[in-house]
A and B are shown apart, each in its own frame.
Chain A
Amino acid sequence: MAAGAESGVTGSLGARLADGVYRFFDSDLWHSFTRSPVAVVSAAVTVLFVACTLFAPLVAPHNPFDLASIDLLDSFIPPVWQDGGDPRFLLGTDDQGRDIFSTIIYGARISLGVSFAAVLLAMALGISLGLLSGYLGGTVDAVIMRIADVQLTFPAILIALLIDGLSRSVLPRDLHSDIWFYVLVLAIGLSFWVQYARTVRGSVMVERNKEYVQAARVIGIPPLLIMVRHVLPNVMGPVLVIATINLAIAVITEATLSFLGVGVPLTSPSLGTLVRVGQDFLFSGEWWITIFPGVALAILVLAVNLLGDWLRDALNPKLR
């Protein structure tokens, strides 16, 4: 953040970064993190998922989207520990002969990619509007909050569906298949900005009356600079908690949309798509096609949720 980067009147950038890193590892937050097994495990799981998705080509034994490497003869192979299993395909294959394990990794990549981007969009939008609303007050505040209130009356899924459906009907099919990623990110992101805006607005209204903000006004700093350099660094705490929990919700939302068939296209399936596709085969005995992606989804969401819970408790000054 601006304040940190320009801070320090002596010392090179490297020295200041090193100092920042040292302070973090010496902090109460890190200390309580290392003491909480839940936090450590869930953080490890999350990091594992993220690493796998980032390095998907290296981690996955096969590339399930490379049509050349798929053989229809390999279809419906059960997981390796069952009769008929094949060590090449650890968790079995689906109806096309794609390796389930690889599809989970690539699917998680899509899921996490869309979710991260959506959360970032929601944060950017929500924080800016919350800052303006809280600091300027008056009409600006009233207008923004009424829009927020209206949006809150609709469930997030509905809004995402609305935006997605609208784009499909309005945009030509070719265009839509090129920009589906952005449409999805927009849809999910726009459904989440309200909670950031509200939280930030509340914190800003508290900080605005504090004397360091008044001191900046007396010095004559313009309101925009005060908002960004003074107030913003102090309201980021709760935002991080929301963002973490939001990530889990975004993953679920994307999965739901894909499950319903209006999310990612079939050519780049996410975990949700995989669950839906595999559903058809559940009762004919090939349970692994839907169960394993479902389990992976559940573990990811659980880990991120637990991490968010821990973060909220750790940052809550009243519980310390």
Chain B
Amino acid sequence: MRKAGGNAALVAVEDLEKRFDVSPPLLNRLLQGEPRALLTAVDGVSFNIPRGSTFSLVGESGCGKSTVARLVVGLYRPSRGRILFDGTDMAGGREAVAALRKRLQMIFQDPFASLNPRWRVADIVAEPIRAHRLLTGRAAIVARVGELLEQVGLSPADGEKFPHEFSGGQRQRISIARALASNPEFLVCDEPTSALDVSVQAQILNLMKRLQRELGLTYLFISHDLAVVYHISDFVGVMYLGRLVEWGEARALFRHPQHPYTRMLLDAIPDLKMTGRPRTPVAGEVPSPIAPPPGCHFHPRCPFAAERCRREAPKPLATNAGEVSCHAVEEGRLPPAERVVAPPVSES
């Protein structure tokens, strides 16, 4: 498997698979003769994240990106494959994993459900400190909580309030403060700005970039919004129905997308520069993940599908920026596509 970037990988995911049993209850199966139904949410995903970088996973609903996030952070157990954090296998033994818990944390999508409505903000932020016994004595904890709140742009006095007294953006800041409380190296961010207004999203994205610089953090960033992903990522992985169809260095992937699905996603981004770019008509919808199409999952919607695509799932191929899994690319059938992404205009 190809390594991204030059730095050593902080997180490496190898052939990760997660199956959920969504069968009808036992009684129904016996009486109605219905078969077991297995949902393969994540199907053989491999990638690695260099230290200090931001790796984004992007895709539409049902692609499994949120499941990958939860697997990486330990909320789910993988059905197969392994996750290595700084060389340590996350599946190995209770003590090993317990020591790792301080070093990785998660930020969630819903700012309203991710904070316990009955706890005061200061207790919410202090929870990791108390759980890992990082500091002792009330005064020390109070001081540290105040520091953390200031770091995310709130004031220490906000610790006395309850979550419902804050707006969505502020609650997301509180979530970030809680995630930083154990001094982690790695943050998994599951659509942290999707529920926020666009101006608030800008505040949170700016904050996250600043914190990454100041604290040397590594991010796994999950999103469905390609523009946000463009802004914040060093590396991007595109997922479709549980598989990683393409990943690579962010700028290169956006400028020269290889996989037909990546191209389709990029074409679907609204045209805010009002260049009058016509949108390519897009075919079909994401099929149900319970019964995905055989072979390459994308073939029913792919303009370059061939017979082989219906039978055989493509294997990852190295490109100069990353990897892509597509028969058409392998066979050289894909026309090169220079995306109408204006050459970067840097502003100070």
- A–B: direct contact at CB < 8 Å: yes
Query: Is B110 close to A, CB under 8 A?
Result: yes
A21 to chain B, nearest CB (A): 16
A220 to B110, CA, bound (A): 20
Stretch at the interface among B127-135, B249-257, B286-294, B298-306: B127-135
Our pick among A4, A7, A211, A219 for the contact of B108 (Cβ within 8 Å) is: A211
Query: Is A96 close to B, CB under 8 A?
Result: no
Known: A214-B108, A234-B116. A219 touches B98 (CB 8 A): no
Chain B 140-190 residues near chain A, CB threshold 8 A: 141-142, 145, 159-160, 175, 178, 182
Task: Flag if B131 contacts A9 (CB, 8 Å).
Answer: no
Our pick among A7, A210, A211, A219 for the contact of B120 (Cβ within 8 Å) is: A7
Our pick among B120, B132, B138, B178 for the contact of A215 (Cβ within 8 Å) is: B178
Residue of B nearest to A234 (CB): B118
Our pick among B115, B118, B182 for the contact of A233 (Cβ within 8 Å) is: B118
Task: Flag if A218 contacts B75 (CB, 8 Å).
Answer: yes
Query: Is B209 close to A, CB under 8 A?
Result: no
Query: Is A8 close to B, CB under 8 A?
Result: yes
Task: Flag if A219 contacts B182 (CB, 8 Å).
Answer: yes
A-B contact number at CB 8 A: 74
Tier of interface size on chain A: 20 to 34
Query: Is B225 close to A, CB under 8 A?
Result: no
A8 to B159, CA, bound (A): 8
Max chain B CB contacts within 10 Å: which of A3, A214, A230?
A214
Task: Flag if A220 contacts B98 (CB, 8 Å).
Answer: yes
Query: Is A212 close to B, CB under 8 A?
Result: yes
Query: Is B244 close to A, CB under 8 A?
Result: no
Chain A 196-225 residues near chain B, CB threshold 8 A: 210-212, 214-221
A220 to chain B, nearest CB (A): 4
B131 proximity list for chain A (CB < 8 A): 219-221
A9 proximity list for chain B (CB < 8 A): 120, 122-123, 126, 138, 141-142, 145, 159-160
B178 proximity list for chain A (CB < 8 A): 215
Query: Is B81 close to A, CB under 8 A?
Result: no
A243 to chain B, nearest CB (A): 19
Residue of B nearest to A212 (CB): B116
Chain B 216-261 residues near chain A, CB threshold 8 A: none
A217 proximity list for chain B (CB < 8 A): 75
Residue of A nearest to B128 (CB): A219
Query: Is B22 close to A, CB under 8 A?
Result: no
Query: Is B54 close to A, CB under 8 A?
Result: no
Task: Flag if A211 contacts B98 (CB, 8 Å).
Answer: no
A27 to chain B, nearest CB (A): 12
Task: Flag if A220 contacts B105 (CB, 8 Å).
Answer: no
Task: Flag if A219 contacts B127 (CB, 8 Å).
Answer: yes
List residues of B whose CB falls within 8 A of some A CB. 70, 73-75, 98, 101, 104-106, 108-110, 113-120, 122-123, 126-128, 131-132, 138, 141-142, 145, 159-160, 175, 178, 182
